[in-house]
Amino acid sequence: MAIDSIQLDRAIGAVLASAAGDALGSQYEFGPALPDTFTPEFGDGVFGHGVGEWTDDTSMAIPLLEALAEGNDLADAGVQSHVVARWIEWSRSAKDVGAQTRTVFQAVGLPVTAAGALAASQALHERSGRSGGNGSLMRTGPVALGYLERTPAELAEAASAIARLTHWEDDNTDACALWCLAIRHAVLTGELDMRGQLEHLPAERRDRWAALVDEALASDVHPRDFQAQNGWVVRAFQGALAAVAGAASLPDAVERAIRGGGDTDTVAAIAGSLAGARYGGSAVPLSWQRKLHGWPDCSATDLVRRAALATRGGSADAEGWPTAKRQPVYVQSDYLTQHPHDDRVWIGSLAALDRLPDDVDAVVSLCRVGTDQVPAHCESVQVWLIDREERNPNLDFVLAEAADGIARLRAEGRTVFLHCAEGRSRTAAVAALYGARHRYVVLDAAWRDVRGALPAFAPQAFLREAVARLVGS
């Protein structure tokens, strides 16, 4: 089974939206439930995380993502040992580590091994009689990316094994297995189906989880209904599921999770992983992506690249993406010209990245770019837009985000370069939309003027139609 570009977008979404939910929810952690009229904003986290900085939820997911991006199998004991070592390394400088997780780490001897972590996890459970915190579920999303082309049973086993490295209780193994299975299903089909994953749980525990899932999926339920004890994995699971099931979009799912109150960063991170798998990374607002950062010195673009590699078993595509320093350029399409309605917006092709004006300090890419292709002094804003109609499930949203993103950059005083591979179709569409939406040019005139500026002007019909819809709305 080959993973197509839409499924790849959804797999990336499972990572990207989880990090966004984590960072967005961090300043509301331990707070009250919030009304539906409230729109969460990025701010300083309760534990000192900066604006847009993810917390332990995403930081603990990254070693799992790294392992898969290197082509490793999470079922391998050596790989699990490396993951645990990375977790312990992170914990030494982390701003916040869950109490249960920290206790396990302190009990892991040298050399660090998965067996040592499992022994510490089990011992803690046996001493306290419980180990049901939500710290395993918050990080579990990447596990699904390594099992898209394997059986659900293998994924359930792997998710349970990773959960037990710090959280021994059956509630954790079951919650992580169900969540990863639902992510896998959503990536492959675009559908939310938690009930369909229950068959993969041990038979003696299915009825209980069926009732918990039904409770979270009830039509009148909101994440705030599970605020009490949502530091417990079961309530966090239910709150996140209610957030996704009742949402109309990816941002809506994340914001609903945060409005639930309590452990907002974790519930939003969990919800984001499933919402991202359902809607795709292209449904994560660019304004969110630009802010995201965190351990280990990663940005949203780094998460996208690692998620793509994890989904592809550690391999780049035929053109070397996402690891190649440069993507192929079309010399015959080396176009660079000023936007007809804004002389601080330049438009053109991928090849023109090699000869940008000195004052350009932001690049909006509508195609894949290499790791070193955007000049180092420029902010790189990468947009998931494909020049084929059937490959863009969030087409109108992505086009609007690209045009609005240029406007935000300009409002910050930036000089922007907008490009696609050939400066022909996608660049033309977004440039015209920017002119109509933000420079108040009549759409027909916007198209005409962009045509006059771009030598290779040839926007696809579906892009023209989408721009017309957006301007009309």
Q: CB within 8 A of 252, min separation 6: which ones?
A: none
Residues 466, 385 contacting (CB under 8 angstroms): no
Q: Which domains does the chain have, with CATH numbers?
A: 5-311 (1.10.4080.10), 331-472 (3.90.190.10)
Cα–Cα distance measured from residue 384 to residue 386, given in angstroms and rounded to the nearest whole number: 7
> Residue written as tokens 């010209």?
337
Q: Which residues of 397-427 are buried (b: 16+ CB within 10 A; e: fewer)?
A: bbbbbbbbbbbbbbeeebbbbbbbbbbbbbb
Q: Are strands 379-382 and 362-365 parallel, antiparallel or unpaired?
A: parallel
Residues 368, 436 contacting (CB under 8 angstroms): no
Q: Does residue 322 sit in helix, strand or coil?
A: coil
Q: Cα 431–434–435 angle (5° rounding)?
A: 90
Give the residue among 59, 50, 61 at the shortest CA–CA distance from 90: 59
Written as six digits, the tokens of 20 are: 């966004």
Residue 235's φ and ψ, nearest 5 degrees, are -70, -35
pLDDT in tens, the chain (473 residues): 689 999 999 999 999 999 999 999 999 999 999 999 999 999 999 999 999 999 999 999 999 999 999 999 999 999 999 999 999 999 999 999 999 999 999 999 999 999 999 999 999 999 988 888 999 999 999 999 999 999 999 999 999 999 999 999 999 999 999 999 999 999 999 999 999 999 999 999 999 999 999 999 999 999 999 999 999 999 999 999 999 999 999 999 999 999 999 999 999 999 999 999 999 999 999 999 999 999 999 999 999 999 999 999 999 999 999 999 999 998 888 999 999 999 999 999 999 999 999 999 999 999 999 999 999 999 999 999 999 999 999 999 999 999 999 999 999 999 999 999 999 999 999 999 999 999 999 999 999 999 999 999 999 999 999 999 999 97
